[in-house]
């Protein structure tokens, strides 16, 4: 048994107030509630409207709430990792800004970009610091203002994404609960199919890149769809197999919320009953690095100590992965 097994001991989230409905979107581009619901499964998504506020605003609010809920002093936190594809700035890291806003002064903090798999990669990264004894209280945040890189003239991408943040506290547990295993993978072959064309060092911002609308998400949906279904299912099945978990042993699947059809296909391949699958894509859309914590946060009341949970993701890169964890506490201690 691992001595300091990294365990999630609390979770919080932050959602902007503004709700962008399919009805409003259908007045912006040539689309309909019917198309979006059938092809993606999203009814509405949250948008951070206030100017001058970025992903750190959402992330810091989630972190502050997490500290309050657990009675943790900001000075006790020794590590903060922020997964995001929409950092406040190219530099410094959004994690540094979140730590500053939340009065976290004794932690080293950094960003991690693994597309929609960012939160899973960040959990696996923080896990290493906890298990080596280097960190005693780590915070992992997924924070995204996706609306800052969505082209609201492109009907193929604008219905998909939303803004949100989710944060977890990770601590060394008694060895029985926490992260048991994970499979993380990536393949740079994904670049042409899902990326932002300009604004990086290959193509810095210019009048031309702005005129060509190259500062937004570019996605070849069908290609990404096929990869997402097969890779998310493959790694989820692999992590189940090597930990000798049957579909009956799995209490919950937490899938990345990119498309309802992808979630259903992955659950089918894992032979999981749909009641065991966390789904909130209808309300929040794809919030990239925030989808996993947003699901767990909504389901926290129903989680029980010892529940076998599989997290599964797929995103830009391509990146993908699955993690098996044994949940460490009963229900929502904040209630």
Indicate which residues carry an active-site annotation: 116, 256, 286
By CB under 6 A, tell whether 221 contacts ligand UT7. Answer: yes
Residue 51 vs 222, nearer CB to ligand UT7: 222
Burial class (CB in 10 A: 0-12, 13-18, 19+), 299: middle
By CB under 6 A, tell whether 222 contacts ligand UT7. Answer: yes
CA 59 to centroid of chain Cα atoms: 12
Binding residue for ligand UT7, selected from 80, 116, 253, 294, defined by CB under 6 A: 116
Total residues binding ligand UT7 (CB under 6 A): 20
DSSP state of 58: H
Binding residue for ligand UT7, selected from 129, 216, 284, 314, defined by CB under 6 A: 314
Residue 182 vs 319, nearer CB to ligand UT7: 319
Residue 24 vs 50, nearer CB to ligand UT7: 24
Considering only CA atoms, which of 293, 3, 297 is closest in space to residue 133? 3
Considering only CA atoms, which of 282, 312, 314, 279 is closest in space to residue 295? 279
Kindly tell me the sign of the dihedral angle through the C-alpha atoms of 170, 172, 178, 180.
positive
Residues 156, 132 contacting (CB under 8 angstroms): no
What are φ and ψ of residue 105, in 5° steps? -110, -15
Q: Which one of the spans 30-38, 44-52, 142-150, 199-207 is the region binding ligand UT7 (CB under 6 A)?
A: 30-38
CA distance 169 to 131: 14
Q: How far is the CB of 17 from ligand UT7 (least distance, A)?
A: 24
By CB under 6 A, tell whether 27 contacts ligand UT7. Answer: no
CA distance 63 to 12: 7
By CB under 6 A, tell whether 228 contacts ligand UT7. Answer: yes
Q: Which one of the spans 55-63, 71-79, 86-94, 257-265 is the region binding ligand UT7 (CB under 6 A)?
A: 257-265
Residues 125-184 binding ligand UT7 (CB under 6 A) are: 155-156, 159
31 CB contacts (<8 Å, ≥6 apart)?
22, 25, 155, 159
By CB under 6 A, tell whether 262 contacts ligand UT7. Answer: yes
Catalog residues that contact ligand UT7 under the rule CB under 6 A.
Answer: 31, 35-36, 39-40, 116, 155-156, 159, 221-222, 224-225, 228, 258-259, 262, 286, 314-315
């Amino acid at each position: 048994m691992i001595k300091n097994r990294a365990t999630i001991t609390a979770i919080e989230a932050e959602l902007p107030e503004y709700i962008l409905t399919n009805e409003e979107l259908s007045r912006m581009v040539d689309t309909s509630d019917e198309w979006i619901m059938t092809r993606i499964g999203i009814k509405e998504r949250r948008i951070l409207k206030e100017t001058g506020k970025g992903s750190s605003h959402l992330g810091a609010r989630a972190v502050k709430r997490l500290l309050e809920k657990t009675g943790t002093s900001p000075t006790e936190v020794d590590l903060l990792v922020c997964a995001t594809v929409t950092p406040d700035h190219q530099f410094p890291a959004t994690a540094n800004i979140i730590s500053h806003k939340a009065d976290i002064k004794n932690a080293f903090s950094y960003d991690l970009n693994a597309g929609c798999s960012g939160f899973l990669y960040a959990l696996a990264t923080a896990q290493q610091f906890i298990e080596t004894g280097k960190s005693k209280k780590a915070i992992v945040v997924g924070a995204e203002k996706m609306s800052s890189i969505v082209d609201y003239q492109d009907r193929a991408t604008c219905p998909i994404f939303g803004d949100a943040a989710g944060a977890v506290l990770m601590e060394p547990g008694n060895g029985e609960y926490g992260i048991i295993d994970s499979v993380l993978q990536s393949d740079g072959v994904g670049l042409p199919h899902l990326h932002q064309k300009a604004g990086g060092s290959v193509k810095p911002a210019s009048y031309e890149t702005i005129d060509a609308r190259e500062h937004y998400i570019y996605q070849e949906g069908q290609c990404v769809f096929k990869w997402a279904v097969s890779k998310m299912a493959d790694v989820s099945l692999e992590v189940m197999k090597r930990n000798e978990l049957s579909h009956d042993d799995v209490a919950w699947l937490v899938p990345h919320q990119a498309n309802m059809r992808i979630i259903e296909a992955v659950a089918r391949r894992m032979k999981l009953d749909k009641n065991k699958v966390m789904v909130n894509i209808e309300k929040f859309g794809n919030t990239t690095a925030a989808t996993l914590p947003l699901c767990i946060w909504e389901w926290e009341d129903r989680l029980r100590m010892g529940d076998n949970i599989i997290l599964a993701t797929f995103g830009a890169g391509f990146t993908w992965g699955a993690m098996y964890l044994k949940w460490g506490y009963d229900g929502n201690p904040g209630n």
